[in-house]
Copies of this chain bind each other. A is one copy, B any other.
């Protein structure tokens, strides 16, 4: 390659590294917003046609349903999670494919109850993202509980490709 081609190639590689960092940040700030109860900011992290496939029986779609998840007065989020939780995302594999991206990894949610810390849930996750200007929005989260009816390998499988 000549110098101009090498420079252009390098710019593309650096952009991809930056994109991976931005997606890692999106997963962090998505958690911050859920944990401290910033509902608008939480919703703004998803695209309008997003899907949150939480369990075998519960699949949310679009802004209104996601808002209810966080704001329902009798829901699990308001009763046991908000302001006493950490939505932790670890062991992330993140792959950028142009203006789309996916990530796979683990989630766990320690919560404080009566002064003691309990891990409320652990799950396997597959996320998808779309580029939107300078940032990345979530379009899909598929989540399955560890030890639940679905084999984790049904969720964690894009990393094999």
Contacts and interface: CB of A to CB of B under 8 A. Distances in A.
Interface of A: 3-4, 6-7, 10-11, 13-14, 17-18, 20-21, 25, 27-29, 31-32, 35-38, 41, 83-93, 104-106, 108, 110-112, 117-122, 124, 145-147, 151-153, 156, 159-160
A28 B93 contact: yes
B152 A36 contact: yes
A106 B86 contact: yes
Nearest to A112: B147
A54 to B, nearest CB: 17
A38 B153 CA distance: 8
B159 A32 contact: yes
Given A10-B10, A10-B11, A20-B21, A32 B104 contact: yes
B106 A108 contact: no
B152 A35 contact: yes
Contacts of A3: 3-4, 7
